[in-house]
Structure 1
Amino acid sequence: MARVPDDITLEKVGPGNLAECGIGCLTNPDHIGHQPKVQWLEQRFKEGLRFLLFRNKKG
């Protein structure tokens, strides 16, 4: 099994930390698809969705 570097963390993303953690695939809030994706995720969070995101000190 591969070793995960010490500066990598696994975070559970939900409605309380989406702005801090970001979406992953759409990092630029000015991108045309960013706001629709955020709205979609907010609706899914109401349904109970959470996802895991690997992060490093850069974000």
Structure 2
Amino acid sequence: MREEAGLTQRQIGKLLNKPQSYIYNCEVANRRVDITEFILWAEACGVNPKTAFNNLLKELK
């Protein structure tokens, strides 16, 4: 989602007020993202959170 939005890890980190290392750890599954973080992440990428969640569910099937 971040890459499709054309954002670097540093850029989305700045939008979420998180360090780049936090973004990296979420993306490589070293850290789980809770639902409220997911919503903020989607919004930072310019994606409707419902759409993002539906896309995630499709990927997991």
Q: Which category describes the TM-score, using the shorter chain as reference length?
A: 0.3 to 0.5
Rg: which structure is higher?
1
Report which structure shows greater RCO (CA 8 Å, sep ≥6).
1
Select the structure that is richer in helix.
Answer: 2
Select the structure that is richer in strand.
Answer: 1
